[in-house]
Structure 1
Amino acid sequence: MRHGRSGRKLNRNSSSRTALARAQATALLREGRIQTTLTKAKELRPYVEKLITTAKGGTLHDRRLVARDVQDNAVLRKVMDEIAPKYAERTGGYTRILKVGVRRGDGVTMALIELV
């Protein structure tokens, strides 16, 4: 039984999962929308939402906490100066997941994850 176990393994070890989450979060925050598999999008959603919520604080400590995961300085500036103030009045739900069909090669469900 898997009571209380959260998260998906995505067929990767823990360091690869962390690297994947950081890379996809950075890409999503840079582009505003990315296409990925549905399971990866569902894993990415809480990760990005926690980053944005932390960035909304606006302090130096919050900037450093976000910088641990967003290692591109241009994207970090964008998160702190544009994205976080945009969602200042919103209490959550910064992302949207839309299913876009199946991938031709292996039939996996693809999804579009975007900032609202």
Structure 2
Amino acid sequence: MISDDAVVNLFALAHPGRLNVFRTIVKAGPDGMAAGKIAAANAIPANTASTHLSILTGAGLLSAYRDGRSIIYRANFTHYAELMGFLLNDVTENNAEAATALQAWFRNHPANDASAHAKA
């Protein structure tokens, strides 16, 4: 990932509504979630959800496919991992202390505990 791509991704996540939509889709897992259910789960109008979904998809954080009359959105975990890798490795490249601190945080906060930490 290059810096310009990271900026686009961080912009997409830098809005409370879009971040909540992204969280909802990540929690839905690999099967994803229909756009209408995403809007309902976040208590937002369909047109607002559509805007958020469009920005997140344009940034590469989501993928979408049609299933009958519904559009199903899924988190693009590979792309998200590239963003996290960029932040972990490239941004801290010349700062061993920062890299060590971030790596320790990820070791001490395994992915399966993420929802418990988010609620705390």
Using the size of structure 1 for normalisation, the TM-score is: 0.30
Structure richer in helix, relative to its length: 2
By relative contact order (CA 8 Å, sep 6+), the higher-ranking structure is 1
Structure richer in strand, relative to its length: 1
Larger radius of gyration: 2
